[in-house]
Amino acid sequence: MDGARPPLHRQLVFKARPENFHQNHLRRLGRPRSLVGGASFQQSRFNRISLFCCYLFFFFCIDSIHADSPPPLEIRFLDVGYGEAIVLRLPEGGAVLIDGGRPEKGPRVASLLRQMGIDRLDALLVTHFHPDHAGGLGPVFDQLLPFSSKKERTGMILLPLFPKAVEPEVETVLRKIERRPYRVVRRGEIIPLSDSVRLEALHPGALRGDPNEDSLAVKVIHGEMIFLFTADIGPEVQRELLAIYGPKLKANVAKIPHHGGESIEPFVQAVRPERAILSIGPNPYGLPKEEVLEMYRRAGAHLHRTDLEGTITITSDGRSVRVRTERRR
Protein backbone atom coordinates (compact mmCIF):
# COMPACT_ATOMS: atom_id res chain seq x y z
CA MET A 1 0.00 0.00 0.00
CA ASP A 2 1.34 3.44 -0.94
CA GLY A 3 2.49 5.49 2.10
CA ALA A 4 2.21 2.48 4.46
CA ARG A 5 4.93 2.05 7.08
CA PRO A 6 7.23 -0.97 6.56
CA PRO A 7 6.76 -3.99 8.77
CA LEU A 8 8.24 -3.75 12.26
CA HIS A 9 10.97 -6.35 11.66
CA ARG A 10 12.24 -4.26 8.75
CA GLN A 11 12.33 -1.17 10.96
CA LEU A 12 14.42 -3.03 13.51
CA VAL A 13 16.86 -4.30 10.90
CA PHE A 14 17.18 -0.80 9.41
CA LYS A 15 17.90 0.89 12.78
CA ALA A 16 20.18 -1.73 14.24
CA ARG A 17 23.28 -0.79 12.22
CA PRO A 18 26.51 -2.59 13.13
CA GLU A 19 28.19 0.57 14.37
CA ASN A 20 25.33 1.18 16.78
CA PHE A 21 24.97 -2.36 17.99
CA HIS A 22 27.78 -2.32 20.53
CA GLN A 23 26.59 0.84 22.27
CA ASN A 24 22.93 -0.28 22.18
CA HIS A 25 23.92 -3.62 23.64
CA LEU A 26 25.84 -1.89 26.43
CA ARG A 27 22.89 0.29 27.26
CA ARG A 28 20.57 -2.71 27.39
CA LEU A 29 22.96 -4.53 29.66
CA GLY A 30 23.17 -1.48 31.86
CA ARG A 31 26.98 -1.15 31.55
CA PRO A 32 28.13 2.04 33.29
CA ARG A 33 29.00 4.90 30.94
CA SER A 34 32.12 5.59 33.05
CA LEU A 35 33.76 2.47 31.61
CA VAL A 36 33.42 3.87 28.13
CA GLY A 37 34.85 7.21 29.31
CA GLY A 38 37.60 5.29 31.16
CA ALA A 39 38.92 3.96 27.88
CA SER A 40 39.23 7.52 26.63
CA PHE A 41 41.01 8.55 29.86
CA GLN A 42 43.43 5.61 29.57
CA GLN A 43 44.18 6.60 25.96
CA SER A 44 44.82 10.23 26.98
CA ARG A 45 47.11 9.11 29.79
CA PHE A 46 49.01 6.85 27.40
CA ASN A 47 49.43 9.76 24.97
CA ARG A 48 50.84 12.00 27.72
CA ILE A 49 53.32 9.33 28.83
CA SER A 50 54.39 8.73 25.22
CA LEU A 51 54.91 12.46 24.67
CA PHE A 52 56.98 12.72 27.87
CA CYS A 53 59.15 9.79 26.77
CA CYS A 54 59.72 11.46 23.39
CA TYR A 55 60.79 14.69 25.11
CA LEU A 56 63.10 12.73 27.41
CA PHE A 57 64.66 10.85 24.50
CA PHE A 58 65.17 14.10 22.56
CA PHE A 59 66.82 15.75 25.60
CA PHE A 60 69.26 12.88 26.10
CA CYS A 61 70.10 12.84 22.37
CA ILE A 62 70.93 16.58 22.40
CA ASP A 63 72.88 16.22 25.64
CA SER A 64 74.83 13.31 24.17
CA ILE A 65 75.66 15.32 21.05
CA HIS A 66 77.00 18.19 23.17
CA ALA A 67 78.90 15.80 25.41
CA ASP A 68 80.57 14.17 22.40
CA SER A 69 81.42 17.49 20.72
CA PRO A 70 85.11 18.35 21.18
CA PRO A 71 86.02 21.65 22.84
CA PRO A 72 86.68 24.53 20.43
CA LEU A 73 89.91 26.15 19.31
CA GLU A 74 90.08 29.70 20.65
CA ILE A 75 92.34 32.36 19.12
CA ARG A 76 92.77 35.73 20.82
CA PHE A 77 94.35 38.69 19.11
CA LEU A 78 95.41 40.69 22.16
CA ASP A 79 95.08 44.45 22.19
CA VAL A 80 98.73 45.45 22.59
CA GLY A 81 98.70 48.67 20.60
CA TYR A 82 101.10 48.81 17.67
CA GLY A 83 102.42 45.26 17.78
CA GLU A 84 101.18 41.70 17.87
CA ALA A 85 100.49 39.05 20.48
CA ILE A 86 98.19 36.16 19.61
CA VAL A 87 97.10 33.36 21.96
CA LEU A 88 95.83 29.96 20.82
CA ARG A 89 93.86 27.90 23.36
CA LEU A 90 93.96 24.38 21.96
CA PRO A 91 90.89 22.10 22.16
CA GLU A 92 92.89 19.55 24.16
CA GLY A 93 93.79 22.16 26.79
CA GLY A 94 97.22 23.48 25.80
CA ALA A 95 98.21 27.03 24.89
CA VAL A 96 100.41 28.58 22.20
CA LEU A 97 101.64 32.17 22.00
CA ILE A 98 102.54 33.88 18.73
CA ASP A 99 104.73 36.95 19.47
CA GLY A 100 104.56 39.17 22.54
CA GLY A 101 104.20 42.81 21.50
CA ARG A 102 106.53 45.69 22.33
CA PRO A 103 108.86 45.66 25.39
CA GLU A 104 106.54 47.85 27.47
CA LYS A 105 103.62 45.48 26.72
CA GLY A 106 105.41 42.39 28.03
CA PRO A 107 104.03 42.56 31.60
CA ARG A 108 100.50 43.06 30.22
CA VAL A 109 100.82 40.04 27.93
CA ALA A 110 102.07 37.82 30.77
CA SER A 111 99.27 39.12 33.02
CA LEU A 112 96.59 38.46 30.39
CA LEU A 113 97.84 34.92 29.93
CA ARG A 114 97.56 34.28 33.65
CA GLN A 115 94.06 35.79 33.71
CA MET A 116 93.15 33.26 31.02
CA GLY A 117 94.31 30.49 33.36
CA ILE A 118 97.52 29.85 31.41
CA ASP A 119 100.54 29.26 33.64
CA ARG A 120 102.62 27.34 31.10
CA LEU A 121 102.91 27.50 27.32
CA ASP A 122 102.99 24.41 25.15
CA ALA A 123 104.64 26.37 22.36
CA LEU A 124 105.98 29.84 21.65
CA LEU A 125 106.23 31.03 18.07
CA VAL A 126 108.37 34.10 17.35
CA THR A 127 107.64 35.38 13.84
CA HIS A 128 110.67 37.72 13.68
CA PHE A 129 112.95 39.77 15.91
CA HIS A 130 111.46 43.25 15.67
CA PRO A 131 110.55 45.05 18.92
CA ASP A 132 106.80 45.23 18.17
CA HIS A 133 106.64 41.43 17.88
CA ALA A 134 109.39 39.98 20.09
CA GLY A 135 110.20 42.85 22.46
CA GLY A 136 107.59 41.92 25.09
CA LEU A 137 108.59 38.27 25.45
CA GLY A 138 110.96 38.78 28.40
CA PRO A 139 108.26 38.45 31.13
CA VAL A 140 106.74 35.54 29.22
CA PHE A 141 110.04 33.64 29.35
CA ASP A 142 110.54 34.46 33.02
CA GLN A 143 107.01 33.52 34.14
CA LEU A 144 105.58 31.05 31.62
CA LEU A 145 108.60 29.36 30.04
CA PRO A 146 110.94 28.41 32.90
CA PHE A 147 114.01 26.32 32.18
CA SER A 148 113.05 22.76 31.32
CA SER A 149 114.43 19.76 33.14
CA LYS A 150 114.81 16.12 32.15
CA LYS A 151 111.59 15.29 33.98
CA GLU A 152 109.50 18.17 32.67
CA ARG A 153 109.32 19.75 29.25
CA THR A 154 108.10 23.31 28.78
CA GLY A 155 107.05 23.08 25.15
CA MET A 156 108.43 24.14 21.80
CA ILE A 157 110.08 27.41 20.83
CA LEU A 158 109.56 27.91 17.11
CA LEU A 159 111.65 30.46 15.23
CA PRO A 160 112.22 31.57 11.64
CA LEU A 161 115.62 31.72 10.05
CA PHE A 162 117.24 34.74 11.69
CA PRO A 163 120.59 36.55 11.82
CA LYS A 164 122.62 36.54 15.00
CA ALA A 165 122.64 40.35 15.12
CA VAL A 166 119.30 41.86 16.17
CA GLU A 167 118.04 45.22 17.38
CA PRO A 168 119.06 46.15 20.96
CA GLU A 169 115.42 46.12 22.14
CA VAL A 170 115.13 42.40 21.44
CA GLU A 171 118.70 41.30 22.16
CA THR A 172 117.81 40.27 25.72
CA VAL A 173 114.96 38.12 24.42
CA LEU A 174 117.24 36.46 21.87
CA ARG A 175 119.78 35.64 24.60
CA LYS A 176 116.99 34.00 26.66
CA ILE A 177 115.98 31.93 23.63
CA GLU A 178 119.53 30.81 22.89
CA ARG A 179 119.82 29.32 26.38
CA ARG A 180 116.88 27.00 25.66
CA PRO A 181 116.15 24.32 23.08
CA TYR A 182 114.48 25.85 20.02
CA ARG A 183 113.49 24.80 16.53
CA VAL A 184 114.03 26.79 13.34
CA VAL A 185 110.99 26.30 11.10
CA ARG A 186 111.26 26.35 7.31
CA ARG A 187 108.76 26.39 4.48
CA GLY A 188 106.90 23.11 4.02
CA GLU A 189 107.23 21.85 7.59
CA ILE A 190 104.10 20.56 9.32
CA ILE A 191 104.02 20.67 13.12
CA PRO A 192 101.18 19.12 15.17
CA LEU A 193 100.18 21.51 17.95
CA SER A 194 97.65 19.01 19.34
CA ASP A 195 95.59 16.04 18.19
CA SER A 196 93.19 18.32 16.28
CA VAL A 197 95.32 21.36 15.35
CA ARG A 198 98.35 21.51 13.10
CA LEU A 199 100.67 24.24 11.89
CA GLU A 200 101.99 24.45 8.32
CA ALA A 201 104.94 26.75 7.58
CA LEU A 202 104.67 28.78 4.36
CA HIS A 203 107.70 31.05 4.75
CA PRO A 204 110.68 31.59 4.92
CA GLY A 205 112.51 29.24 2.63
CA ALA A 206 115.83 31.08 2.80
CA LEU A 207 117.27 34.01 4.71
CA ARG A 208 116.88 37.35 2.91
CA GLY A 209 118.40 39.64 5.54
CA ASP A 210 115.27 41.76 6.18
CA PRO A 211 113.47 40.69 9.39
CA ASN A 212 110.06 41.62 7.94
CA GLU A 213 110.60 39.66 4.74
CA ASP A 214 112.08 36.79 6.77
CA SER A 215 108.97 36.63 8.99
CA LEU A 216 107.62 33.22 9.82
CA ALA A 217 104.29 32.92 7.98
CA VAL A 218 102.10 29.94 8.88
CA LYS A 219 98.72 28.36 8.46
CA VAL A 220 96.94 26.92 11.50
CA ILE A 221 94.40 24.26 10.51
CA HIS A 222 91.54 23.04 12.70
CA GLY A 223 89.11 20.71 10.96
CA GLU A 224 87.81 22.57 7.90
CA MET A 225 88.90 25.97 9.23
CA ILE A 226 92.14 27.63 8.07
CA PHE A 227 93.80 30.55 9.86
CA LEU A 228 96.58 32.49 8.13
CA PHE A 229 99.24 34.33 10.15
CA THR A 230 101.57 36.38 7.95
CA ALA A 231 103.47 38.54 10.48
CA ASP A 232 105.11 41.47 8.63
CA ILE A 233 105.67 40.09 5.14
CA GLY A 234 105.60 42.68 2.36
CA PRO A 235 104.73 42.69 -1.35
CA GLU A 236 107.87 40.80 -2.42
CA VAL A 237 107.12 37.79 -0.22
CA GLN A 238 103.41 38.00 -1.05
CA ARG A 239 104.28 37.59 -4.74
CA GLU A 240 106.50 34.64 -3.88
CA LEU A 241 103.77 32.93 -1.84
CA LEU A 242 101.26 33.60 -4.60
CA ALA A 243 103.56 31.93 -7.13
CA ILE A 244 104.15 28.91 -4.86
CA TYR A 245 100.70 28.33 -3.36
CA GLY A 246 98.18 30.23 -5.51
CA PRO A 247 94.61 29.30 -4.47
CA LYS A 248 95.96 27.21 -1.58
CA LEU A 249 96.45 30.51 0.27
CA LYS A 250 92.66 30.60 0.85
CA ALA A 251 91.85 31.06 4.53
CA ASN A 252 88.74 31.55 6.63
CA VAL A 253 90.47 34.01 8.95
CA ALA A 254 93.61 35.99 8.09
CA LYS A 255 95.77 38.41 10.01
CA ILE A 256 96.49 41.39 7.76
CA PRO A 257 100.27 41.54 7.13
CA HIS A 258 102.45 44.26 8.63
CA HIS A 259 99.66 46.10 10.49
CA GLY A 260 97.98 47.11 7.24
CA GLY A 261 101.18 48.08 5.43
CA GLU A 262 101.75 47.78 1.70
CA SER A 263 100.16 44.72 0.07
CA ILE A 264 99.28 43.49 -3.40
CA GLU A 265 95.70 42.84 -4.44
CA PRO A 266 96.26 39.44 -6.12
CA PHE A 267 97.55 38.11 -2.79
CA VAL A 268 94.50 39.43 -0.93
CA GLN A 269 92.17 37.97 -3.57
CA ALA A 270 93.89 34.58 -3.26
CA VAL A 271 93.45 34.57 0.53
CA ARG A 272 89.82 35.83 0.38
CA PRO A 273 89.19 35.60 4.13
CA GLU A 274 85.73 35.90 5.63
CA ARG A 275 87.37 37.68 8.59
CA ALA A 276 90.49 39.85 8.40
CA ILE A 277 92.16 40.87 11.67
CA LEU A 278 94.27 44.00 12.04
CA SER A 279 96.50 44.31 15.11
CA ILE A 280 97.21 48.03 15.29
CA GLY A 281 97.60 51.06 17.54
CA PRO A 282 98.97 54.61 17.36
CA ASN A 283 102.11 54.71 15.23
CA PRO A 284 104.26 57.19 13.28
CA TYR A 285 104.09 55.18 10.03
CA GLY A 286 100.60 56.09 8.86
CA LEU A 287 99.34 52.54 9.25
CA PRO A 288 97.02 51.02 8.34
CA LYS A 289 96.88 52.15 4.73
CA GLU A 290 93.28 52.73 3.68
CA GLU A 291 93.91 51.31 0.20
CA VAL A 292 95.00 48.02 1.80
CA LEU A 293 91.85 47.85 3.91
CA GLU A 294 89.85 48.44 0.73
CA MET A 295 91.57 45.44 -0.87
CA TYR A 296 90.23 43.21 1.90
CA ARG A 297 86.76 44.71 1.66
CA ARG A 298 86.73 44.04 -2.10
CA ALA A 299 87.74 40.45 -1.34
CA GLY A 300 84.62 40.12 0.82
CA ALA A 301 86.31 40.24 4.23
CA HIS A 302 84.74 41.60 7.39
CA LEU A 303 87.43 43.73 9.07
CA HIS A 304 88.24 43.67 12.79
CA ARG A 305 90.71 46.08 14.43
CA THR A 306 92.23 45.81 17.89
CA ASP A 307 92.50 49.61 18.18
CA LEU A 308 88.73 49.93 17.75
CA GLU A 309 87.42 46.66 19.22
CA GLY A 310 90.06 45.69 21.79
CA THR A 311 91.01 42.03 22.10
CA ILE A 312 89.39 39.99 19.32
CA THR A 313 88.47 36.36 20.04
CA ILE A 314 87.85 33.80 17.30
CA THR A 315 86.25 30.49 18.29
CA SER A 316 86.35 27.51 15.92
CA ASP A 317 84.50 24.20 16.15
CA GLY A 318 86.32 22.95 13.05
CA ARG A 319 83.37 23.71 10.76
CA SER A 320 82.69 27.41 11.37
CA VAL A 321 83.97 30.34 13.42
CA ARG A 322 82.43 32.86 15.79
CA VAL A 323 83.87 36.28 16.61
CA ARG A 324 83.70 38.08 19.94
CA THR A 325 85.22 41.51 20.60
CA GLU A 326 86.15 43.26 23.82
CA ARG A 327 84.19 46.36 22.87
CA ARG A 328 81.85 47.47 20.10
CA ARG A 329 83.06 49.79 17.37
Q: Exposure pattern of 259-289 as b/e (b: 16+ CB <10 Å)? A: bbbebbeebbbbbbbebbbbbbbeeeeebbb
Report the distance separating Cα 14 and Cα 224, nearest Å.
Answer: 74
Each of the 329 residues of the chain gets a pLDDT tens digit; together they read 444 444 434 443 444 444 444 444 444 444 444 444 555 556 666 566 666 655 555 555 444 444 467 899 999 999 999 999 999 999 999 999 999 999 999 999 999 999 999 999 999 999 999 999 999 999 999 999 865 444 444 568 999 998 878 999 999 999 999 988 899 999 999 999 999 999 999 999 999 999 999 999 999 999 999 999 999 999 999 999 999 999 999 999 999 999 999 999 999 999 999 999 999 999 999 999 999 999 999 999 999 999 999 999 999 999 999 999 998 87
Question: Edge-to-edge, what's the strand order for the sheet holding 275-278?
Answer: 190-192, 197-203, 217-222, 225-229, 253-255, 275-278, 302-305
Return the pLDDT at 145: 80
Return the pLDDT at 13: 41
For 73-325, give the CATH class: alpha beta
Report the distance separating Cα 285 and Cα 279, nearest Å.
Answer: 14
Q: Quick count: other Cβ atoms within 10 Å of Cβ 76?
A: 20
Query: What pTM does this model have?
Result: 0.79
Contact call for residues 232 and 257 (beta carbons, < 8 A):
yes
Contact call for residues 172 and 138 (beta carbons, < 8 A):
yes
Residues 47-78 pLDDT 10s: 666 666 555 555 554 444 444 678 999 999 99
Q: Which residues pair with 286 in a beta bridge?
A: none
Residues 175-209 pLDDT 10s: 999 988 899 999 999 999 999 999 999 999 999 99
The domain segmentation of the chain, as residue ranges, is 8-69, 73-325
Return the pLDDT at 57: 56
